Chains A and B, each alone.
Chain A
Amino acid sequence: MFPRSIDEVIRALEAHRYIAERGLATAIFLALRLNRPLFLEGEPGVGKTEVAKVLADLLETELIRLQCYEGLDVHSAVYEWDYARQILQIRMLEASGERDEARIRQQIFSPDFLIKRPLLQALEAKNGRPPVLLIDELDRADEEFEAFLLELLSDWQITIPEIGTVRAEQPPVVVITSNRTREIHDALKRRCLYFWIDYPSFEKEIQIVRARIPEAPERLTRQIVAFVQELRRLDLYKLPGVAETLDWTAALLALDRTELDPTVVDETLGVLLKYQDDVLKVRGEIAQDLLAKALLRAEIASGGA
């Protein structure tokens, strides 16, 4: 389906168990309408990558993922020749007495011997629908790749010297994510619709846990979310994201817990906090204090509901 309004986007995302705020839904809607890439930034674990996956489901199309890393080059991002088969082919042609260099060249540098990597695949629509292209953690790639991407995003064509130019009839839906371990150049971001995904509010986060882990008891969910929300106010190296909230909920369910208590919080804090310094800081007194506040808030929230 192709959403016709922003409310439709929100409803469709919800149907695919993704709770989005109105701002993000607007950006997604416009990305689809204006054919612009969506550039998502935010702390780790707030659901940036998930947007692309859900979008592919929603549009009923293929998701093509390019995970970025330092040194990512044309051979792993765009295309590569299948050298082993090319060599074999040369030997076979030789055996059959072919000596014409131009003909050999033409044969082995044909599309049959081309290995398509994600960016080239993304130029081809399957059964009439352009795919969703996820360029994940662009900040990990180096500037050379960024420059290449800038070119690709503006023309949607790739030139392969031996074959020619491949052009997308329908440009793919592009989602780019970054964790900001490096500043991405403004020129690239300006071509995109930019959205900063913040940590969700208390109510939104409860909705997210409900959507993702429906079997979690209502009371426990409220307590978990209230605790994580309190935790995010502290001065920590890495604040827990939504991913951590979900992990923690799953962990507590596996432990058959129906509500939070001081012992279980101390024991499972490692699921939420990923730095030893943070765990040491929070464990014990601070955790108890946060828990007391969280339980109170969870109570109030249930009273209001």
Chain B
Amino acid sequence: MGGYLLHHIVRFGRTLRAAGVPITPGQIVAFIRALEWLPLEDRALFYHAARCTLVCRREDLETFDRVFEWFWRNPLMGGQLPPGLLSTAPGPIRRQENRPRPAEVGHPPAPEPRSENPEAPPVILADRAMTYSPIEILRRKPFERFSEEEIQRVRRLMARLRWQISERETRRLRPGPRGEHLDLRRTLRRSMRHYGEWVRLLWRTHKRKPRPLVVLCDISGSMERYARMLLHFLHALSHTRRHVETFVFGTRLTRITRCLRHRDLDEALREVSHTVVDWSGGTRIGECLHVFNRDWGRRVLGRGAVVMIISDGWDRGDVELLRQEMERLQKSCYRLIWLNPLLGIPGYQPLTRGMQAALPYIDDFLPVHNLASLEQLAAHLERLPARRSARRSGLARPVPSGGPE
């Protein structure tokens, strides 16, 4: 193969990577090997071969097409990728090297000094000498009343919360003394020690795994004052276990799972703010749930998923649609939890039209307004009942009670 072509292909790979399509050298090699079998003058074949060797995710196909079109029109033209060619899907997670990393020795990440007050000494909360009461006050204080400094402190308390979502029995078997499936293979092998006499029967039992968790968080105008703390919460949650899918919604649904995979909170938040376009706008919960059910439901709700919706229930969309979509959502997940920050306000009644429409389909209705309520949530997730609650289609069930407090 001509040296020029090889050179261009390598640069093409680099361009794709810059546009956010993750490509490995192995894939480039596969592409070059593929070209040995194709007539090079056929541009369509060249395109198809590149596509099936270099791309392995459907989300990337569109970006690939645009980059291909742009790059091969004149492969000699180098340099900057024109705007608009960048992948809309968040690319691979790459840490920005020049950013200072918070010290992580023995502590959860310390907060970086905020720009307003760069000189302020970091509050050392990891210090065990901290008295009980300040933390206690902080635990009970509603999120919206936090000062900047308190946010930083709570952020670290949050990172320390234990999230263990209740487990489910998978279909996979593993050796276990109290199992219900006879392990013939091990029994027979063991019996060889006793000349084929089955001295002891060995058993297999179901392996257990934590349930996947899917979070849908409202970021519309009315939720604005909680948004920051909630994003901290979502970030902390994403880094406790692997199977957390996170979406935010206002007037449209955005998946932010990949953004939140950044270890660094600020990096993650920056990525989220780039990805999400409908901050602090209106709310159309029904439409957003519809999009979720249609495009994502089948992909992320398998294997007994627990779904958490975080919203105050102020909805300016179609209420009937919201009701239908809630019903569908509840039927397709293991447990549907609604977290409402307003539930922390004494005397709050879920009277908004949206909340009223949603209530019959909610398994747990819990507050999310301070650290104590998050701890309560964590405890709740850990002890989810082994059976899912009854799903009655069309019949309104009694309103689930709010959590204690």
Contacts and interface: CB of A to CB of B under 8 A. Distances in A.
Nearest to B26: A190
A69 interface: yes
A101 B173 CA distance: 29
B56 A30 contact: no
A225 B55 CA distance: 31
A260 to B, nearest CB: 27
12 contacts: A26-B38, A26-B48, A41-B58, A70-B172, A81-B185, A87-B188, A101-B192, A142-B170, A179-B298, A181-B298, A182-B302, A237-B294
A30 B58 contact: no
B44 A180 contact: no
Interface stretch (B29-37, B97-105, B148-156, B213-221): B29-37
Of all A-B residue pairs in the complex, the 8 with the closest CB atoms, nearest first, are A71-B171, A90-B196, A189-B56, A26-B48, A27-B52, A194-B56, A70-B171, A193-B52
B161 to A, nearest CB: 26
Nearest to A236: B294
B299 A104 contact: no
Contact of B49 (A30, A87, A101): A30
A180 B328 CA distance: 20
A155 interface: no
B195 interface: yes
A23 interface: yes
Contacts of B195: 90, 94, 99, 101, 104
Interface in B313-345: 324, 328
A196 interface: yes
Given A71-B170, A91-B196, A104-B192, 12 more contacts: A22-B45, A29-B37, A30-B37, A33-B34, A39-B56, A73-B173, A87-B196, A94-B195, A101-B192, A101-B195, A180-B298, A190-B24
Nearest to A36: B30
A6 to B, nearest CB: 6
A86 interface: yes
Contacts of A186: 22, 56-57
A133 B88 CA distance: 35
A101 B192 CA distance: 7
Contact of B299 (A81, A101, A105, A180): A180
Interface string B124-151: 0000000000000000000000000000
Nearest to A26: B48
B114 interface: no
A181 B58 contact: no
B30 A195 contact: no
Contacts of B61: 196
Contacts of A81: 184-185, 188
B55 A194 contact: yes
Contact of B170 (A70, A75, A104): A70
Given A41-B58, A71-B171, A86-B188, A34 B33 contact: yes
Nearest to B212: A182
Interface in A40-99: 41, 69-71, 73, 75, 80-81, 83, 86-87, 90-91, 93-94, 99
Interface in A93-114: 93-94, 99, 101, 104-105
A34 B36 CA distance: 10
Contact of B53 (A23, A29, A94, A193): A193
Contacts of A192: 56
Contacts of B160: none
A151 interface: no
A150 to B, nearest CB: 13
A91 to B, nearest CB: 7
A70 B52 contact: no
A118 to B, nearest CB: 18
Interface in A188-206: 189-196
Nearest to A27: B52
Given A34-B30, A105-B192, A237-B294, A73 B44 contact: no
B293 interface: yes
A244 to B, nearest CB: 17
B51 interface: yes
Contacts of B193: 101
A267 interface: no
B157 to A, nearest CB: 32
Determine which residue in A26, A81, A86 has the highest number of CB atoms from chain B within 10 A of its CB, and name it. Answer: A26
A34 B37 CA distance: 9
A235 B303 CA distance: 26
Contacts of A191: 26
B27 interface: yes
A2 to B, nearest CB: 12
A183 interface: yes
Nearest to B193: A101
A83 B45 contact: no
B326 to A, nearest CB: 14
Contacts of A235: 294
